[in-house]
Amino acid sequence: MKKIVFLLICIAVNLSCSSAQEDGKITFNEKKHDFGEISDKGGNVSFDFILTNRSNEPLLISNVKASCGCTTPSWTKTPIKPKKSGTITVSYNPNGQHGSFLKSITVYTNLGTPITLQISGKVTSAPISEQGDETYPVTFGNDLSR
C-alpha cells in the first residue's frame, strides 16, 4: 500500500513539474512538425522550432538531444531574455531511410523539466529517372534475337 501511495505522489509531482513548462514559461510555434513525404535522394530537410521565453528570468538551453543519428539539432546558445525568442533547428537526413519516421528531440533548459519535440514524415524512394546511372542494362536468359 505504501508503494502505491508513493507511486501516486511521484506521478502527481511529475505532472505538476511538467505542467510548469506548459503553463507558460516556454512556448513553441509547434511541438510536432510533419515533413510529409520526402525523397530519400532529396537531401536533408530542416525545421525551425521557435521558442519564446514567457518567464521573468533568462532562459538558457543547456542541451538538445535527438533520438537518433539521422536527426541533428542546433540551437540558440546565448541566454534568451524574458519575452524574447530563440530557435531550435532540427535537420533530418533521409538518405538510406525508407518508410514512415517519428523522431523525438529533448530540450534541456534552466527553467525546469525537459521538453520533448517531435518530427515525423514518410521517406519515399526517388523514381528511377531521378536516380541517375544507378541501373545497368543487362540481358538475362537466352536472347535469341542476336
Question: 12 and 55 in contact (C-beta within 8 Å)?
Answer: no
Q: Where are the domains of the chain?
A: 21-128
pLDDT in tens, 39-92: 998 899 999 999 999 999 999 999 999 999 999 999 999 999 999 999 999 999
Helix boundaries (H) for the chain: 2-20
Task: Classify residue 84 by its DSSP letter.
Answer: -
Top-level class of domain 21-128: mainly beta
pLDDT in tens, 2-52: 555 554 454 554 544 444 444 579 999 999 999 999 999 889 999 999 999
Buried b (16+ CB within 10 A) or exposed e, 96-107: ebeeebebebeb
Question: Residue 72 has what pLDDT?
Answer: 96
